[in-house]
Structure 1
Amino acid sequence: MKRFPHAHATHPQWRMAAAMVVAQLRAQMALPDHASQPSLGLLYITDHYATEAQAILECLSAELPEVTDWAGTVGVGVSANNVEYFDEPAMALMLCDLSPDQYRVFSGVAPLSVSGRADAGDGFSAHTALVHADGGTPELAELIHEMAERTGSGYLFGGLAGSRSATVQFALGSTGNLSGQGAASGVFHGGLSGVAFARGVDIVSRVTQGAQPVAPEHRVTEAEGNLVLRLDGEPALDVLLRELRISLDHPEHAMPRLRNTLVGLTRSEPDGVEVGDSEAARLRGAFGQEVLVRHLIGLDPARRGVAVADLAPVGTRLAFCERHVRAARADLVRVCAELREELEPEEVLIGSGEAELELSPRPARSIAGAVYVSCAGRGGPHFGGPSAELQVVRHALGDVPLVGFFAGGEIAHHRLYGYTGVLTVFTRPA
């Protein structure tokens, strides 16, 4: 596996942006350390180009005939190595150096079977999957969970399309579609699509929450749907006011603080294998990926309860938290450092008498390419300035091929998140 060629461009006319992207890719594909015959393209466009999605896919497919499979979606912004294009016409494209037996593109006309095979006859078994979804799809959280069960690891990464016009997804596979669906164009509206990867495709993924707890977590001891009534046996509203150090008698001071307050929810029953060191994150004063950050949507002074934008049944652990630049940057640096550590060779002390260092069986790995899906609410000024978020990633990971988009919700493992960043890297032997 060689480095993945990647390119990005912005221009009011999509054809000019596409031409610049193709020129960049061709130049990289001629380099000895980059893939010269990649077959999978990951394409992200901003919603300025959404109505031209079909034409863009046809143009790029014609200009890059070696690329036989395509996946991607639309966002209010797209990202690449060290840069983001937020609320402007742009596209980003990465070509993955994978053999056709290592992945399968899936969609509504080429579904991934329950057994993990896109086609029951070809023996492909999915281990992980990059998923793009339409946020308006009914029972979306359940569909994401079901999709995770169709992979061997149960791990998904990706996000919801973000668009102020057409919500589109790209999914065009060389293995074909279901019978009767051969005319499908590769551009879809609604549902889920993406690309599944076999076990041999080595990825490392982390979630950055960007929210910082303001106090220790509590256990929900009484609740009715979205209304949390008691925390550790105490009225939830009383706990909230005490921890934020505010009073409803002074709304001019209380309301600004309440608007910036969210809740971090952790289900009482673990429902899957965790990826990443959640306990270490908690010790650092951050949230691990087992936590779902949700809005605080209302107060009930009569019942002394607080309403949150999710179900919080009895037994759920809840922590009030805040989002701000300092917390977001610190947590992003943390997950990037964890990724770098994961890729470095492990050293173990062996022998008796004289100490001797020997490399572990796990060799050093380098990054062939990366996908970063960030919440649309994190882009731009949330990190202190244009492209600041991607500059943090570049500083931590180095000059690596990277593409991504700013989503309406983020997918990691089998959960749907909000306000997060999901950073996934494809690795190769160093």
Structure 2
Amino acid sequence: MKLFPFAHATHPQWPMAAGLVLAQLRAQLALPGYAASPTLGLLYITDHYAPYAQDILDHVSAELPEVTDWCGTVGVGIASSNVEYFDEPALAVMLCAVPPHQYRVFSGVAPLGAGEGMGFEPHTALVHADAATPDLGELIAEMADRTATGYLFGGLAASRQQAVQFAVGGNGNIKGQGKAGGVFRGGLSGVAFGEGVKLVSRVTQGCQPTGREREVTSAEGNVLLTLDGEPALDVLLDEAGISLDRPQAAMSALRATLVGLSAPGDDVMARAGTFGTDVEVRHIIGLDPGRRGVAVASQVEKGMRMAFCHRNAQAARADLMRICAEIREEFEPEEMSLHAAAAMAAPDALSSPSPDRRIAGAIYVSCAGRGGPHFGGPSAELQIVRRALGDVPLVGFFAGGEIARHHVYGYTGVLTVFG
């Protein structure tokens, strides 16, 4: 198995960071264990570099002419193997050795479907999106419908400056790119993968229910009115131990309380005290004392399942380790020689990859509210991934919302691994 070359760097000046990244990539491209001629590049930058997005894309694509296609976006933080960059200028690149006939880059000027008639059928897609795009939820659901599996993975650009996206289809397979420079604002972009690309993707939740699962028995717009026939506000106050007679303490408790929602007929909890992967966590944005209702940052409807919840670092850590273990189980051989196991555990495992290794690379998109600070220290979240998944090439970013299947999540992580 050939590994995907990857690199990351930080520097106040983007040309210096790009130079460091290019040097790492060229060194890996020359190693026998790494893919020698990948054509698809993933590029993630922190928002410090957002004003220079076009210059960065032009530079790295000119320096790596063999890489004909690029996609990526900006985050308030970016991730690579074992490291997180928050509040500092940084970029990360991974070069994916995927057969050109098994992927298509898409964007607003080259939408998915422009390659129809060329024998390509999208099965899954990595999607980057701008949170300010109107009807974003509907657009993501429509994009999922364009794939054979209905499964998307990715996230919303997160930036205190420009919410840029990268999308370049330069291999001649995509019509519509025209003279567009490959840097976009608004809408959706990404890369769709064909059936021949083996990947496994999992969602890890970051919140823990505070009470039992309930059914929404009446709702209006984004206001929960009754839960299991009881006034929603009364249920919230009881479960959170809140008294409106102490407004300051009540506001503090309400800010820490969230709502986990699932579609009608879907269970909220996978097991006692643990959310299932389809649960969407949303903020409480107001109370309606007159109707004893609770307003949430999402449309709600009768029949949905829900549970109030809190963010919980210990539960998030355990769930992250769980999905990494599940993914490793999918990819690693059932039996491994002692030599191979020792090679994978060695500090220089990436420079001398074992022939038994079946993971080529990974993409991790996590919530901007997670990361090291939530898990207890600098780069703690990515260190958990490395310990649990192994030392594999990985890039990603910290998003303003995470995309998995046809949903936009919050406070989650979406880990996708290529074989």
Q: Taking structure 1 as the reference length, what is the TM-score of the superposition?
A: 0.89
1:167-208, Cα deviation, whole Å (9 max, x unpaired):
1111101236545x5211111111111000000101111111
| Counterpart check, 1:4 vs 2:1 | no
Query: Which residue of structure 1 lines up, in the alignment, with residue 221 of structure 2?
Result: 225
CA separation in 2, counterparts of 1:102 and 1:233?
51
CA separation in 2, counterparts of 1:311 and 1:53?
35
| Counterpart check, 1:66 vs 2:66 | yes
- Out of 268, 271, 274, the position equivalent to 1:286 is 274
| Counterpart check, 1:250 vs 2:246 | yes
Superposed, 1:201-216 pairs within 5 Å as 201-216=197-212
Distance 1:284 1:366, change over 3 A: farther
1:231-281, Cα deviation, whole Å (9 max, x unpaired):
1111111111111222222234322221110000011056xxxxxxx89x7
Query: Which residue of structure 2 lines up, in the alignment, with residue 123 of structure 1?
Result: 119
Q: 377-386 vs 36-45, which deviates more?
A: 377-386
CA separation in 1, counterparts of 2:254 and 2:316?
19
| Counterpart check, 1:312 vs 2:300 | yes
SS in 2 for 1:367: coil
Query: Which residue of structure 1 lines up, in the alignment, with residue 314 of structure 2?
Result: 326
Superposed, 1:20-99 pairs within 5 Å as 20-99=20-99
**How far off is 1:297 after superposition?**
1.2
Query: Which residue of structure 2 lines up, in the alignment, with residue 299 of structure 1?
Result: 287
- Out of 183, 193, 209, the position equivalent to 1:197 is 193
Query: Which residue of structure 2 lines up, in the alignment, with residue 416 of structure 1?
Result: 408
Structure 1 unaligned spans of 5+? 271-277, 348-363
Q: What is the letter of the counterpart of residue 402 of structure 1?
A: L
CA separation in 2, counterparts of 1:103 and 1:341?
26
CA separation in 2, counterparts of 1:26 and 1:383?
33
Query: Which residue of structure 2 lines up, in the alignment, with residue 375 of structure 1?
Result: 367
Number of residue pairs matched by the alignment: 398
CA separation in 2, counterparts of 1:334 and 1:246?
33
1:30-73, Cα deviation, whole Å (9 max, x unpaired):
11110011110000001111111111111101111111110001
CA separation in 1, counterparts of 2:122 and 2:279?
26
Q: What is the letter of the counterpart of residue 399 of structure 1?
A: D
Structure 2 unaligned spans of 5+? 336-355
Q: What is the letter of the counterpart of residue 97 of structure 1?
A: A
CA separation in 1, counterparts of 2:357 and 2:203?
20
SS in 2 for 1:377: coil
SS in 2 for 1:306: strand
Misfit runs of 4+, over 6 Å: none
Aligned-residue sequence identity (percent) comes to 70
Distance 1:89 1:368, change over 3 A: same
CA separation in 1, counterparts of 2:7 and 2:391?
13
Whether the 8 Å contact between 1:369 and 1:426 is mirrored in structure 2 is yes
Query: Which residue of structure 1 lines up, in the alignment, with residue 259 of structure 2?
Result: 263
| Counterpart check, 1:175 vs 2:175 | no
Distance 1:205 1:199, change over 3 A: same
CA separation in 2, counterparts of 1:215 and 1:365?
42
Q: Taking structure 2 as the reference length, what is the TM-score of the superposition?
A: 0.91
Whether the 8 Å contact between 2:105 and 2:174 is mirrored in structure 1 is no
CA separation in 1, counterparts of 2:315 and 2:253?
16
Whether the 8 Å contact between 2:94 and 2:395 is mirrored in structure 1 is yes
Q: 251-260 vs 68-77, which deviates more?
A: 251-260
Q: 43-52 vs 283-292, which deviates more?
A: 283-292
CA separation in 2, counterparts of 1:167 and 1:65?
26
| Counterpart check, 1:141 vs 2:137 | yes
Whether the 8 Å contact between 1:263 and 1:294 is mirrored in structure 2 is yes
Whether the 8 Å contact between 1:86 and 1:380 is mirrored in structure 2 is no
CA separation in 2, counterparts of 1:250 and 1:199?
57
- Out of 393, 398, 413, the position equivalent to 1:406 is 398
CA separation in 2, counterparts of 1:415 and 1:343?
26
| Counterpart check, 1:392 vs 2:387 | no
**How far off is 1:345 after superposition?**
5.0
1:121-158, Cα deviation, whole Å (9 max, x unpaired):
32111110000111111111000000011111110000
Let me know the Cα RMSD of the aligned residues.
1.7
| Counterpart check, 1:132 vs 2:124 | no
Whether the 8 Å contact between 2:73 and 2:164 is mirrored in structure 1 is yes
